[in-house]
Amino acid sequence: MEYRVKVHWGDTDAAGIVFYPNYYKWMDEATHELFSRIGYPTQQLLEEQIIIPLLETHCVFKKPVQYNVDLSVQLQVDYVKDKIFKVIYSFFLENNLVAEGYSVRAWATLGENLKAVSIPNQVRDLLLEQKLGGGN
Residues 47-103 have pLDDT tens digits of 999 999 999 999 999 999 999 999 999 999 999 999 999 999 999 999 999 999 999
Please check whether residue 90 lies inside any domain of the structure. yes
Please check whether residue 134 lies inside any domain of the structure. no
Contact 107, 31 (CB under 8 A): no
Quote the CA–CA distance of 107 and 113 in Å, as a whole number. Answer: 14
Taking the model in full, what pTM does it have?
A: 0.92
Encode pLDDT of 107-117 as tens digits: 999 988 899 99
How many structural domains are present in the chain?
A: 1
Mean pLDDT to the nearest integer, 129-136: 66
Considering only CA atoms, give the Rg of the chain.
16
Please check whether residue 112 lies inside any domain of the structure. yes
Nearest 5°: the CA angle 30, 82, 47 is 55
Burial of 66 (0-12, 13-18, 19+ CB in 10 A): middle
Encode pLDDT of 6-22 as tens digits: 999 999 999 999 999 99
**Domain, as residue range, for 111:** 2-128
Residues whose CB is less than 8 angstroms from the CB of residue 24 and which lie 6 or more positions away in sequence, other chains included: 57, 59, 101
| Average pLDDT of the chain, as a whole number | 94
Provide the CATH number for the domain around residue 35: 3.10.129.10
Residues whose CB is less than 8 angstroms from the CB of residue 94 and which lie 6 or more positions away in sequence, other chains included: none
